[in-house]
């Protein structure tokens, strides 16, 4: 039997167990058995309860804070490497620490580069992720990176709304490329929010570049953290005459008072993926699963076939 005929093994980190189960079901395999042994000081040790020798291994886990989630992924990768797995793919629907992708002021770390090196040192031979905070993070790796776009799962939902007079918006200048990609597919106009910050997560001023009067606006972003930017952008657009404002954010970090801000904002709804589990359900937040997308790409990686048909953008 050739290597490619061997059934791959799928394992999950604890923080992404629900998503991993969906991915495994869509893939057509069961999740492998992993035993986590905790120590009284908070340390923990993962162990595979089945052989992975000579197999392709997919380890599924988003690395959102706290740091234990990243550490669990690293330990799982190291365990697979030392158990003689042939290929080890870190399936990270949300790649944490990605906002630290450059030195934006003196004497700071480039966290995204550090995490990339840690993953490779731990044993990852391939990385699979979705909607990186910055595309250039792929260049931090010396191993292949499958960078998927959430637009492939969000577009069908947008089309099901049957909205007229759509305008796509970016909540900041950095997201303009993403907004233009959505607008090209939807054949719509684009507006951009220009914001100034006092400090991280605190906006001092926001202006709108473009016209939204009478439009159904769709804000697109890679993540939503405290929700301050989107809430402020939605309120500003409704003041400027927008008919409705929806937001699409791939990664629902939703920290602090984010849930309350979204509920109290003028957003019609917030559409997110399930790369990060929601802490609670609200009337304005709708989750669309990315599991079928990851399962399909994992099949294609296993069979060494092209994944280019999965890219709308």
Catalytic residue positions? 195
d(CA 227, CA 258): 5
d(CA 226, CA 253): 8
Sign of CA dihedral 108, 111, 117, 121: positive
d(CA 65, CA 241): 38
Question: In whole angstroms, what separates CA 38 from the centre of its chain?
Answer: 28
Contacts of residue 82, Cβ cutoff 8 Å, sequence gap at least 6: 123
* Cβ burial, residue 53 (10 Å; 0-12/13-18/19+): exposed
d(CA 228, CA 201): 7
For the chain, give percent helix, strand, coil, nearest 5.
Answer: 35, 25, 35
Write a three-state SS string for 115-130. Answer: HHHHHHHHCCCEEEEE
Phi-psi group of 187: left, alpha or beta (phi > 0 → left; psi -120 to 50 → alpha; rest → beta): left
Q: Phi/psi of residue 309, each to 5°?
A: -70, -5
d(CA 307, CA 304): 9
**Structure tokens belonging to residue 274:** 């399930």
CA angle 84, 90, 93 (to 5 degrees): 160
């Amino acid at each position: 039997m050739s290597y490619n005929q061997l059934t791959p093994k799928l394992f999950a980190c604890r923080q992404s167990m629900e998503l991993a189960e969906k991915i495994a079901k869509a893939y057509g395999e069961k999740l492998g058995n992993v035993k986590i042994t905790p120590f009284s000081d908070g340390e923990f040790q993962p162990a595979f309860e089945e052989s992975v020798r000579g197999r392709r291994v997919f380890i599924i886990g988003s690395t959102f804070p706290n740091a234990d989630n990243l550490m669990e992924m690293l330990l799982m990768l190291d365990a697979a490497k030392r158990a003689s797995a042939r290929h080890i793919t870190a399936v990270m629907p949300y790649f944490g620490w990605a906002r630290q992708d450059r030195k934006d002021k003196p004497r700071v770390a480039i966290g995204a580069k550090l995490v990339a090196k840690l993953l490779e040192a731990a044993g990852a031979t391939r990385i699979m992720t979705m909607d990186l905070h910055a595309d250039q993070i792929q260049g931090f790796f010396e191993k292949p990176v499958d960078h998927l776009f959430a637009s492939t799962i969000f577009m069908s939902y947008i089309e099901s709304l049957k909205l007229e007079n759509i305008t796509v918006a970016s909540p900041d200048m950095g997201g303009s490329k993403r907004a233009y990609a959505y607008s090209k597919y939807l054949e719509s106009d684009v507006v951009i929010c220009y914001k100034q910050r006092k400090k991280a997560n605190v906006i001092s001023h926001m202006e709108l570049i473009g016209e939204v009067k009478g439009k159904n606006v769709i804000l697109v972003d890679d993540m939503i953290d405290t929700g301050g930017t989107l809430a402020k952008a939605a309120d500003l657009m409704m003041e400027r005459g927008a008919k409705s404002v929806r937001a699409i954010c791939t990664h629902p970090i939703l920290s602090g008072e984010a849930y309350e801000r979204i509920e109290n904002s003028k957003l019609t709804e917030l559409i997110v993926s399930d790369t990060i589990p929601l802490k609670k359900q609200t009337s304005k937040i709708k989750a669309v699963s990315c599991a079928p997308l990851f399962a399909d790409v994992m099949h294609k990686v296993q069979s060494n076939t092209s994944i280019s048909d999965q890219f709308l953008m």
